[in-house]
Structure 1
Amino acid sequence: MKLKNTFILIAFVVLCFACATNPFTGKKTMALVPNSQLFPTAFAQYDQFLTENKVVTGTKDAEMITRVGQRIAVAAERWLNANGYEGYLEDYKWEYNLVDDKTVNAWCMPGGKIVFYTGILPIAKNEAGVAAIMGHEVAHALANHGQQRMSAAYIQAGVALAGNIAIKDEQDRNAFNQYYGVGSQVGAMLPFSRAHETEADKIGIYLMAIAGYNPDEASLLWERMKANSGGSSTPEILSTHPSNDSRIANLKALAPKAKEEAAKFGVTTFRE
């Protein structure tokens, strides 16, 4: 199989399976793994994670995580309902947990299962900072980024397998594996991941504003993230995430638009 035919196959497969719609962008997205299969698996993994880690309960920080999460979830539902997506969250089972761990991280699994690590709270600094993180992580779940990443990985693996079956010459096959491995990662998978992060930043800052949190805090949060990393980072082209500077600039530009969006829902004052 010629390299050109391989790329034609990639395009064909993507077009055939780009059958879901992202409600926040209107774009078609890959959905090889249906939510009816993805959500129960995610819920089971989440429950297992909680049994293996120290969940913080009954503290002000734990209560804050739940409070912010509930407000972000309500904001998401308000936005979706107002834009013609009533019932979109029907299968989501929101849950918010704070875990005692020094890791600077937070995440939201498909279907709305959320974890914040205590290690990220000093960088969040305040409730609006938590809302900026929460909005971003929830946005990944709402936009089905996990579903899309799994779908892309299946396509990546499928094309690699097809290439190895079709290419009979060992030297050509080795060249294909070498160039396809690097090319599909740097040229497709990493940009795909960075696009998801940028998309989640936009959706997240809108959600935090609609929830009543000051969207100006989002860029300040990433300035603190940058300071915490010592200012060093992987070159953007080789990273799953945009650079800190790119995110800070993007979030600063989005903050006024987020306030305008919040005003549509009667939200004109913001919590810090």
Structure 2
Amino acid sequence: MLLFSEAEMASLGQSSFEQIKGQEKVSTSSGDNAYIQCVTNQLVTVLPPSYRQSPWEVVVFDSPEVNAFALPGGKIGVYSGLLKVAKTQDQLASVIGHEMAHVLAKHSNERVSRTQLTNMGLGVADAALGQSGLREPAMAALGLGVQVGYLLPYDRQQEVESDRLGLELMAQAGFRPEEAVTMWRNMSAASSGQQPPELLSTHPSHGSRIQELNALMPQAQSVYQQAHSQGKVPSCRR
């Protein structure tokens, strides 16, 4: 059940993004910014029309944290530490594509709606959903900024869906889909013997993810070959 409109979710995304930008150090590296923007721009070209109507705002955060996220309203944050693990444009595209897929699949709306229904009580919610007066207190309750837009974990089903959609997006844009598997192997190596990267903290185990991505690879390779034949050959360099 989705309780919130696209406009409401975009507003929450904007609010959350502004809070994150106020809390984190924004990178001034022109090279990193141009590189990540280039990869993002290639992915945006294959999004559904409604998601291409306005530019996606991309901000690079100067932090060793290995993480990235996307928020409703066309907001993307990438922590510079991710570039130590995502070693190629294709590997970076696999992460950004995955995060974009969460937005396309309306997973944030699902998360927020579940939270709201839980807080209200299912019985009360069922009786009150049709009342327009519910929206204002709901939005006030959801004014948690980063917690709502970013930190609440996606569930297993949402992660699998975003893996599938993200892999398709990167292949459509001309990025090599097999690099998604390499990316998660890099993540596995980065977490060996130490606290796992933040990007892994709310995601399924890298072993199961790699297995699922491999199962999806034949179809993704077919999509990639078609994109390549159409001249989609990204050339983003750090």
Relative to the length of structure 2, the TM-score reads 0.75
The alignment covers a number of residue pairs equal to 203
Aligned equivalents of 1:260, 1:109: Cα separation in 2: 29
Alpha-carbon distance change, 231 to 251 in structure 1, aligned in 2, over 3 angstroms: farther
Alpha-carbon distance change, 194 to 232 in structure 1, aligned in 2, over 3 angstroms: farther
Which of 178, 183, 189 is the matching residue for 1:227? 189
Which of 173, 181, 203 is the matching residue for 1:211? 173
Alpha-carbon distance change, 155 to 134 in structure 1, aligned in 2, over 3 angstroms: same
**Which AA in structure 2 matches 1:144?**
K
Aligned equivalents of 1:125, 1:116: Cα separation in 2: 14
Aligned to 2:75: 113
Aligned to 1:33: 4
Aligned to 2:138: none
Do structure 1's residue 49 and structure 2's residue 20 form an aligned pair?
Answer: yes
Contact 2:93 2:170 in 1 (8 A): yes
Contact 1:108 1:141 in 2 (8 A): yes
Per-residue CA deviation, residues 156-179 of structure 1 (Å, 9 max, x unaligned), is 3333786xxxxxxxxxxxxxxxxx
Deviation at 1:241, TM superposition (A): 2.8
Do structure 1's residue 245 and structure 2's residue 204 form an aligned pair?
Answer: no
Per-residue CA deviation, residues 174-216 of structure 1 (Å, 9 max, x unaligned), is xxxxxxxxxxxxxxxx997111111111110111111111000
Contact 1:259 1:268 in 2 (8 A): no
Aligned equivalents of 1:270, 1:252: Cα separation in 2: 22
Aligned to 1:70: 41
Bigger RCO of structures 1 and 2 (CA < 8 A, at least 6 apart): 2
**Which AA in structure 2 matches 1:43?**
Q
Q: CA RMSD in A?
A: 2.8
**Which AA in structure 1 matches 2:33?**
A
Aligned equivalents of 1:157, 1:119: Cα separation in 2: 36
Aligned to 2:85: 123
Aligned to 1:150: 112
SS of match in other structure, 2:70:
strand
SS of match in other structure, 1:75:
coil
Aligned to 2:99: 137
SS of match in other structure, 2:50:
coil
Aligned equivalents of 1:92, 1:194: Cα separation in 2: 30
Contact 1:194 1:240 in 2 (8 A): no
Rg (Cα) greater in structure: 1
Alpha-carbon distance change, 88 to 56 in structure 1, aligned in 2, over 3 angstroms: same
Contact 1:124 1:221 in 2 (8 A): yes
Aligned equivalents of 1:75, 1:195: Cα separation in 2: 23
Aligned equivalents of 1:37, 1:195: Cα separation in 2: 24
Alpha-carbon distance change, 114 to 58 in structure 1, aligned in 2, over 3 angstroms: same
Relative to the length of structure 1, the TM-score reads 0.66
Per-residue CA deviation, residues 216-242 of structure 1 (Å, 9 max, x unaligned), is 0001111111111117899xxxx8532
Aligned to 2:132: none
Contact 2:45 2:52 in 1 (8 A): no
Per-residue CA deviation, residues 247-267 of structure 1 (Å, 9 max, x unaligned), is 001112212211223445545
Per-residue CA deviation, residues 75-115 of structure 1 (Å, 9 max, x unaligned), is 21xxx3xxxxxx43267551111110111110001122001
Contact 1:210 1:267 in 2 (8 A): no
Which of 137, 156, 167 is the matching residue for 1:194? 156
Q: Which runs of 5+ in 2 are unaligned?
A: 125-151
